[in-house]
Amino acid sequence: MAKETKKLIANNKKARFDYFIEDTYEAGISLHGTEVKSLRMGKCSIKESFIRIEKGEVYVYNMHISPYEKGNIFNKDPLRIKKLLLHKYEINKISGQIAQKGYTLVPLNVYFKGGLVKVEIGLARGKKLYDKRQDIAKKDQRREAEKQFKVKNLY
């Protein structure tokens, strides 16, 4: 069987900075035709988006898919609420974990897997300010070490 390739459409870098990602899930997404065409052109943003579970179904809010230029009357509202497709047992497991204090669901990536649009969602716990400072300090240390290594190897 051929290896399935993933083509990244949108990435939420801010999510990994603002949250500790405890667990990740892969979900399908219910879309209309022109939205898929727009995604193929890479016109998607999940920076401000969030996920809620309502009545046993999972929805993503504020996921912006730009209208398809040639779509005219078939285009949907760019910020419409989109349903995520997960198995019932996954939804029950996630809702049980969210019931714990401080947990939330955030979209991490939107990508094509085969011919299907998938959303990677993360079960996340919010970071405090000092945790964020620690991450910034680690990133600066790593960058400084790479810089030293580069300078050392030039001579």
Residue pLDDT, tens place only, 88-145:
999 988 888 888 777 888 999 889 888 888 999 988 887 777 777 888 888 888 888 8
> Exposure pattern of 100-131 as b/e (b: 16+ CB <10 Å)?
eeebebbbbbbbbeeeebbbbbbbbeebeeee
Question: pTM, whole model, 2 decimals?
Answer: 0.75
Going by C-alpha positions, the residue among 54, 65, 66, 36 that lies closest to residue 105 is: 54
Q: What are phi and psi for residue 94, nearest 5 degrees? A: -65, -45
Q: What amino acid is encoded at 87 in this protein?
A: H
Residue pLDDT, tens place only, 16-68:
888 888 888 999 998 887 888 888 888 888 888 889 889 889 999 988 888 87
Give pLDDT, residue 72. Answer: 72
Whether residue 111 lies inside any domain: the answer is yes
Give pLDDT, residue 89. Answer: 92
Whether residue 144 lies inside any domain: the answer is no
Going by C-alpha positions, the residue among 94, 100, 83, 111 that lies closest to residue 5 is: 111
Tell me the CA distances in angstroms from 141 to 47, 114, 135, 138, one per residue in order: 27, 38, 10, 5
Whether residue 137 lies inside any domain: the answer is no
For residue 65, the enclosing domain spans 6-127
Q: Name, in order, each residue with C-beta under 8 angstroms of 130's C-beta and a sequence gap of 6 or more.
A: none
Round to whole Å and give the CA distance between 87 and 96.
14
Structurally, the chain folds into a number of domains equal to: 1
CATH of the domain at 20: 2.40.280.10
Whether residue 149 lies inside any domain: the answer is no
According to DSSP, the β-strands at 116-126 and 50-54 are unpaired
Strand, coil or helix: what is 32?
A: coil
Whether residue 155 lies inside any domain: the answer is no
User: Tokens 């230029």 appear where?
Assistant: 69
